[in-house]
């Protein structure tokens, strides 16, 4: 049930990713998705072409790194912390994920 809720919460972001044609729009979408309540599964979003294109942008590539952390690392400590975009809510989410992951 919880996984279904998480997948349903991601659906609007998957739809929006199709129109996020600029790196800035894709980066904003990553910020919105990782900050949204009940959105915990990001693998499908990570595979969309406009999000993958962030890898080509030196300015917005850190947003892709952030999404990869949320997708695969579940907020575990990495060496890319200084490269992440600065957003208090995102850093709080990462800290929450670290606490949650370490309590498992």
- Number of domains within the chain: 1
Burial readout 37-73 (b: 16 or more C-beta within 10 A, e: otherwise): eebbbbeebbebebbebbeebeebbbbbbbbbbbbeb
- What is the structure's pLDDT at 85? 59
In the predicted model, what is the mean pLDDT of residues 60-85? 68
Query: Residue 67's domain spans which residues?
Result: 2-102
Least confident of 3-7, 39-43, 90-94: 90-94
- What is the structure's pLDDT at 70? 82
- What is the structure's pLDDT at 89? 56
C-alpha to C-alpha distance for 45 and 66, rounded to whole angstroms? 12
- What is the structure's pLDDT at 31? 93
C-alpha dist (Å) from residue 48 to 19, 45, 51: 11, 5, 6
Q: pTM of this prediction? A: 0.69
């Amino acid at each position: 049930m919880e996984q279904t809720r998480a997948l349903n919460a991601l659906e609007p972001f998957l739809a929006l990713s199709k129109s996020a044609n600029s790196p800035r729009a894709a980066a904003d979408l990553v910020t919105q998705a990782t900050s949204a309540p009940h959105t915990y599964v990001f693998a499908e979003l990570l595979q969309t072409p406009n999000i993958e294109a962030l890898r080509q942008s030196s300015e917005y590539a850190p947003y892709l790194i952030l999404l990869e952390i949320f997708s695969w690392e579940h907020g575990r400590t990495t060496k890319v912390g200084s490269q992440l975009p600065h957003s208090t809510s995102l850093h709080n989410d990462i800290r929450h994920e670290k606490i949650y992951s370490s309590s498992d």
